[in-house]
Structures are given as structure tokens and as C-alpha cells.
């Protein structure tokens, strides 16, 4: 701690009484769409983060200011409700959760600034929710644990953003650890840190620059398709309460005739297996074997779970036969955002320049890329 600084953009909001919190975005190495199926995920917090300043004031009003949108919002505490599509909704959603939990929330001034690219699949919304939850917890001395804060942040996303997300993003933002990935059991919320040692390789994200407009509606549909599958399997196997408990054989036997639900559920069950085996690969230092599983995950997300898009597919297929790229796949909810790639360090520069040109030519868009480092989760940088 101590190494994270208050960004210059927020300095004007900081007085002696201001609390400043930093909460990062996340990547996920493998285990996609498994979290809300009570499976496993393997995320890590990154060096792109959201920063929040908060200070108590007299009265029962919230004064919110977003540096990124250069916009202010004033809200009466008694009048808090979702403002779907607006940056303030993520903040208000968290305040609402604190109120629902019986906390007395005073008026406050809050400033927010972030450098997590929006809509890129790096969980900027979870970073906002976690930063605000952590800041309020400190301001009110509520004493919620990090786990409780993750659940508060997730509930805010459900109710104030309308996305029935799993727990991965909020958990990763709050629990990240420098240079480690988190193997999280999304059923018990037990977790384990693994050092991420990639040797001669590094992680590079390619941003399609496609904003995922379909993401929230299709996301909720995928979730209910999985629930439908569980219901069907449960008729024959009452001990199955989520896809976590199911095997591929059960999926084939019980959902075989429901084509769409079958494809969705099969993907999730196989993705959980890939993740478990992938963790063994990483522990054995077999990054190449791990990389192959990332390509398999992409194939499944694209063909079976159907949450990819032509730009994501293009980026993955472009690198697929390149010996310097040992793994690549789309990351996060889908329908846009980034691919995550494991690339030989010396080859990154050359690949980026070729791919940028090819992407512009074939997809008609500018490609962005990010070299990310793995950082600590939510921290107070000034109290
Ligand atoms: C989004 C959600 C997460 C998770 C991923 C897919 O990022 O917020 O909970 O479901 O999609 O793995």
C-alpha cells in the first residue's frame, strides 16, 4: 500500500476531511459465464482503476461530480432511484443498499474519476460500485467486510443497472492482489491466490472498440437459459441445484432435445472443467497448455454460448495460428469489449502494428490495445 496516488484530476476535491478510495477494473484468465452458475472464475485486478473522493456535509443531499463526463448531479437522499444509463446510477445503487441495510447515510460530496475504459469488458461499473461501497463503509464506519461489500456492489448492479451479474467483477475489484490471480469458488466465495508467472509471455488486451449494447439484455437471457437447464436436469437429478453440480452426461441426457439450452449448459459445464485443469497447468508452469484452453473457451463462447461478435472473432482468429500467441479469447460478458491474449514479449510490438492495420482494413475500426499489470484490489489512498 502507499504506492497508489491520488490522480491529479481529483486534487481539487481533496480537503483534510476527504476520504479517497481506489478500486480497479479486472481481467479474467478463464472461467467465463460460470460465476452466476455457481462455478469457478480466475480473475485479477489491474492497473486501471476508478477513484472516488467522499466527504460528509450538512443536510440530506448528495452532490456528485464526474470528472470523466464533466457533469454534476444533485440528489435528495429521500429521493434515490435508478437513473438507468447514467453514470450516477452505480453510485446511487450502492447508497440505496447501505440504506436498505439500515445504515444512516448523511449528505455527502462525492467526486469520481477513472481510467478503466468504459464498455471494454474491464468492469468499469463494478470498479465504481466497489469504490463507492468501500468509501461509504469508511465514511460511516459501517464495518462491512470485503465480502459483504462485494455483495452490496453486486446488488447495486442488479437493481440500479438492471444486469443480473454474477459476483466475479466486484469480488476481483475488492480482493485483487498484486501479481496474483484469484481462483474464486462462486458458490462458497472461498478463494485462493495463485502467483501469475508467465515467464517470457505477457498479457495483452485488444479492444474491439465495439460497445456492448446487447450485453445486458442478452446477458440476462443467458442467465435464464441456464436456470431453465438446471430445472430440467433437476427433474432427473434432484441433487443438481446449479450447473456447478451437473456433468456433460447429465446435460446430454436431460436437455438434449432443447437445442439452445443444451448448447448453453454444455458450454458452462465444460468451462468449469477447463478452469480446473487450467489451474493445474498454471501450477505446473505449463502456460502453453493453459493457452490452448483459452482458445477452446473462445470457441465455446462464440459457437455455443453465442456471446461473441464478428470483431471479437476476427481478433482471435487473426492470432490463432501465430506461434508467438499461445492463448487468446474474448473476455467478460461479450458482444464487444476486449480479447485477452498471452503473447511472447518480444513479439508484441510487431503483432500490434500488423493487427492494427488488418483490423482497420477488415473491420473498419481503430484497434486499441492495453498492456495490463496485475495490482492490488480496493484500497484507501487517503483517510
Ligand atoms: C460480466 C458479469 C460477470 C460475469 C461475466 C462473464 O462481466 O458482470 O459477473 O458473469 O460477465 O463471465
pLDDT digits (tens, 9 = 90+) for 95-138: 999 999 999 999 999 999 999 999 899 999 999 999 999 999 99
Determine whether the shortest distance from the Cβ of 24 to ligand 1 is under 6 A: no
CA geometry: angle at 269 spanning 266 and 270, to 5°?
A: 85
Q: What is the pLDDT of residue 2?
A: 52
Determine whether the shortest distance from the Cβ of 36 to ligand 1 is under 6 A: yes
Enzyme catalytic residues: 169
Residue 269 has pLDDT above 70, yes or no: yes
Backbone dihedral angles phi then psi of residue 191, each to the nearest 5 degrees: -145, 160
Determine whether the shortest distance from the Cβ of 38 to ligand 1 is under 6 A: no
Determine whether the shortest distance from the Cβ of 332 to ligand 1 is under 6 A: yes
**Ligand 1 centroid to 332 CA: how many Å?**
5
Residue whose Cα lies nearest atom 8 of ligand 1: it is 165
pLDDT 10s digits, 188-211: 999 999 999 899 999 999 999 998
pLDDT 10s digits, 243-253: 999 999 999 99
**Ligand 1 centroid to 378 CA: how many Å?**
19
Residue 214 has pLDDT above 90, yes or no: no
Q: What is the pLDDT of residue 170?
A: 98
Determine whether the shortest distance from the Cβ of 129 to ligand 1 is under 6 A: no
Alpha helices per DSSP H over the chain? 88-100, 124-140, 146-160, 168-175, 215-236, 248-255, 259-283, 287-303, 310-320, 348-363
331: β partners: none
Mutate-to-test residue for ligand 1 from 35, 156, 215, highest number of ligand atoms within 8 A of CB? 35
Residue whose Cα lies nearest atom 9 of ligand 1: it is 166
Determine whether the shortest distance from the Cβ of 166 to ligand 1 is under 6 A: yes
**Ligand 1 centroid to 289 CA: how many Å?**
24
The CB density around residue 351, as the number of other CB atoms within 10 Å, is 20
Specify whether the CB–CB gap between 38 and 187 falls below 8 A.
Answer: yes
Residue 216 has pLDDT above 90, yes or no: no
Q: What is the pLDDT of residue 212?
A: 72
**Ligand 1 centroid to 331 CA: how many Å?**
9
Domains with residue ranges and CATH for the chain: 8-196+376-382 (3.30.230.10), 201-372 (3.30.70.890)
Determine whether the shortest distance from the Cβ of 25 to ligand 1 is under 6 A: no
Residue 282 has pLDDT above 50, yes or no: yes
19: β partners: 54
The CB density around residue 26, as the number of other CB atoms within 10 Å, is 31
Amino acid at each position: 500500500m502507499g504506492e497508489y496516488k491520488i490522480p491529479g484530476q481529483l486534487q481539487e476535491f481533496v480537503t483534510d476531511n476527504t476520504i479517497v478510495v481506489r478500486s480497479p477494473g479486472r481481467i479474467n484468465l478463464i472461467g467465463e459465464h460460470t460465476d452466476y452458475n455457481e462455478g469457478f472464475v480466475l480473475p485479477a485486478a489491474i492497473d486501471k482503476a476508478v477513484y472516488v473522493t467522499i466527504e460528509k456535509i450538512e443536510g440530506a443531499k448528495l452532490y456528485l461530480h464526474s470528472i470523466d463526463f464533466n457533469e454534476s448531479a444533485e440528489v435528495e437522499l429521500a429521493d434515490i432511484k435508478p437513473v438507468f444509463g447514467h453514470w450516477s446510477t452505480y453510485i446511487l445503487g450502492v447508497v440505496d443498499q447501505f440504506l436498505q441495510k439500515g445504515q444512516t447515510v448523511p449528505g455527502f460530496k462525492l467526486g469520481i474519476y477513472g481510467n478503466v475504459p468504459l464498455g471494454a469488458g474491464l468492469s468499469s461499473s463494478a470498479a465504481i460500485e466497489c469504490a463507492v461501497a468501500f468509501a461509504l463503509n469508511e465514511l460511516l464506519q459501517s464495518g462491512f467486510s470485503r465480502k459483504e461489500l462485494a455483495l452490496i456492489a453486486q446488488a447495486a448492479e442488479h437493481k440500479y443497472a438492471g444486469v443480473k451479474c454474477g459476483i466475479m467483477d466486484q469480488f476481483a475489484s475488492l480482493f485483487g492482489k498484486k501479481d496474483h490471480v484469484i481462483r474464486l469458488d462462486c458458490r462458497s466465495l472461498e478463494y485462493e491466490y495463485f502467483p501469475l508467472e508467465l515467464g517470457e509471455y505477457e498479457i495483452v488486451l485488444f479492444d474491439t472498440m465495439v460497445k456492448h449494447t446487447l450485453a445486458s439484455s442478452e446477458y440476462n437471457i443467458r442467465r435464464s437459459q441456464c436456470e431453465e437447464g438446471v430445472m430440467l436436469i433437476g427433474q432427473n437429478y434432484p441433487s443438481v441445484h446449479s450447473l456447478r453440480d451437473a456433468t456433460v452426461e447429465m446435460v446430454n441426457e436431460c436437455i438434449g432435445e432443447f437445442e439452445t439450452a443444451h448448447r448453453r449448459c454444455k458450454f458452462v459445464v465444460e468451462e468449469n472443467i477447463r478452469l480446473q485443469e487450467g489451474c493445474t497447468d498454471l501450477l505446473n508452469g505449463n502456460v502453453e497448455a493453459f493457452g490452448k484452453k483459452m482458445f477452446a473457451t473462445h470457441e465455446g463462447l462464440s459457437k455455443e454460448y453465442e456471446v461473441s461478435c464478428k470483431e471479437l472473432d476476427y481478433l482471435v482468429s487473426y492470432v490463432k495460428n501465430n506461434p508467438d500467441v499461445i492463448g487468446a479469447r474474448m473476455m467478460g460478458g461479450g458482444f464487444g469489449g476486449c480479447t485477452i491474449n498471452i503473447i511472447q514479449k518480444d513479439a508484441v510490438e510487431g503483432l500490434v502494428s500488423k493487427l492494427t492495420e488488418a483490423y482497420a482494413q477488415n473491420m473498419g475500426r481503430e484497434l486499441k490495445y492495453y498492456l495490463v499489470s496485475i495490482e492490488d484490489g480496493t484500497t484507501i489512498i487517503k483517510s
